[in-house]
Chain A
């Protein structure tokens, strides 16, 4: 055989390998439908978290026992370098699952913008699902600008502030402050007694990290604005007055040296700071590492403080919440089967209870604090009760495909310079507005 023939053979091998690789995803997908005649195969990607995977595996097994024609394969979503990047790569490679959890509203907006996911409200039985799971109020804030619901929230962490009540008591307070001036007053007293302690230790206040804004800026802004949407569709709809007040609050904290923006290890637990943004995921960690952190002894929880003159009982907060989406690349049959599975899971509050016990993440239900099914759980875990009560008061992330850029600009143009004392709140808000409008153009 001469050189040319060998070259042709090598080229043929290469082409075969390329075609083989390219066709793999499609073949598997087709197999998903054809296998076993009328059996529908669903790939379910669970969050890369053992407790959530265990829950969904259990649910899938039970569902398959009752529904022989459905095969659900639960596997952890790839998270290299992040779960979002894993999903994006899978979509780009044509290997997206039929359904996945662990999707934030912001990421869903990016997926919906590219028509990679389907609107859930168009499935038969959607309204029935919402009614059965008692989540009409919670899901109302999840509606996208185009009027559709693309994500079914699974859990909702109404972000709260933890306060070191033991230290507050030393300062003469029996309850956490509720308004801006009360917070500053507590901070000043703290500094008088303990010059090396801080009100809030949060290095992210000085960084433009986009997702960090959920746990500082949006907690305070949502409380000040009564939950006014920051972005509506493709327009900046933020409440300017509330926004400037929010930035003024951060400026006052910084001016009085009440915030620590250096990296600090476990500042709240060690007592370096007396206030901290807390989600329910903290408590299992404390149970293991800081058993001395007892609710009502060492710490209490509260909704974010509000500007002076506002009613603190009406405070709103940020909802750290994720949910389920169904991918557009799946066949209609697979999509409907996935939706039916979800409907089955959420038709029984006992499944939500099981989720709560397994993951410690509050199910996104309006009736979480009142439903009989959860009463005994909250009696045993009183620290989670306030989270449950405030699910309807928690605002999910914005539904804009440019969320990352927008939130980066909130940090870069407004929050970071205000905390560093480089801009006045008014100037910072103005610069931020200008920059965000540039991105939304």
Chain B
């Protein structure tokens, strides 16, 4: 009976996950261009090409660069927001929903808005030029362009992650704080030695989600920078899209997608181990 009840899910998984997965694994060893009826198997050539490709190497490092910028910003921002929401005497739900709204905004729409805000003749840049003589090339600089994208994504996800932290904060028993107070932990000491360690499950979830997100960035660099300048914002997804759909190298694009999934899996695994070690120190198993 169990198999029968599970069969809709099994069928769904087979059609939409397993078959495409095995098909992708096969395609990665071919030179199929997505539309031609004829193609050949090329062995490991796609993987070898990807290994030596400057754009794949760029995608690899750019992801970690984004991670270095995005993860601390989004964790600090969402924790700060959660602490404010937690201490609000009323309208907590309303504010929480308000901060969550950017998460629902279309990536294309918000990218276009950001493009307008940082354009050469925007009021912001006009002001910076007139007041300080700063003529900033926001999307033309290899340092600023990824930072703009990381900040934009942090704005989008901060409200969502704040909700996860908020639920963590709400679940810390009052008794823990009372005990800490008796032991002399007040103010910042209380936050550092009680709140943050008690929020370990939320930190764990948010960090893993944020790290995983960095391997799937597409819309923002696609609209804002196209991966430039000089590959500074060239992500895995941009590389896969460009190869498979722009250059019609579907076999090669699939190989890059498989490498991407392996790197994602390995990175998340490492982060999990580090976080679990930190959690273990504070009594979390």
Contacts and interface: CB of A to CB of B under 8 A. Distances in A.
Interface of A: 1, 3, 6-7, 9-10, 13-14, 17-18, 21, 81-82, 84-85, 88-89, 91-92, 110-111, 113-116, 201, 203, 206-210, 260-265, 267, 270, 272, 401-402, 404-405
Contacts of B197: none
20 contacts: A3-B3, A6-B2, A6-B3, A9-B7, A10-B4, A10-B11, A13-B10, A81-B222, A84-B245, A85-B245, A88-B34, A114-B33, A201-B120, A207-B225, A261-B140, A263-B115, A264-B119, A265-B119, A265-B120, A272-B120
Nearest to B115: A263
Given A209-B226, A260-B120, A92 B3 contact: no
B15 A264 contact: no
Contacts of A116: 35-36
Nearest to A207: B228
Given A88-B248, A267-B120, A262 B140 contact: yes
A91 B34 contact: yes
A17 B7 CA distance: 11
Main secondary structure of the interface of B (DSSP, over half): loop
Contacts of B228: 206-209
Contacts of A201: 120
Main secondary structure of the interface of A (DSSP, over half): helix
Interface in B1-60: 1-4, 6-7, 10-11, 14-15, 19, 33-37
Given A82-B245, A404-B246, A17 B11 contact: yes
B229 interface: yes
Nearest to B126: A196
Contact of A210 (B4, B14, B246): B246
Nearest to A261: B140
Contact of A264 (B6, B7, B120): B120
Interface string B104-137: 0000000000011011111000000000000001
A124 to B, nearest CB: 26
A110 B249 CA distance: 11
A10 B7 contact: yes
Nearest to B36: A114
Contacts of A272: 120-121
A113 B37 CA distance: 11
Nearest to A411: B228
Contacts of A6: 1-4
A441 to B, nearest CB: 14
B252 interface: no
A398 B139 CA distance: 30
Q: Among A10, A111, A263, which residue has the most Cβ atoms of chain B within 10 A?
A: A263
Contacts of B222: 81
Contacts of B138: 262-263
Given A10-B6, A114-B36, 11 more contacts: A7-B3, A14-B14, A82-B245, A203-B139, A203-B140, A207-B226, A262-B137, A263-B139, A265-B115, A265-B119, A405-B247
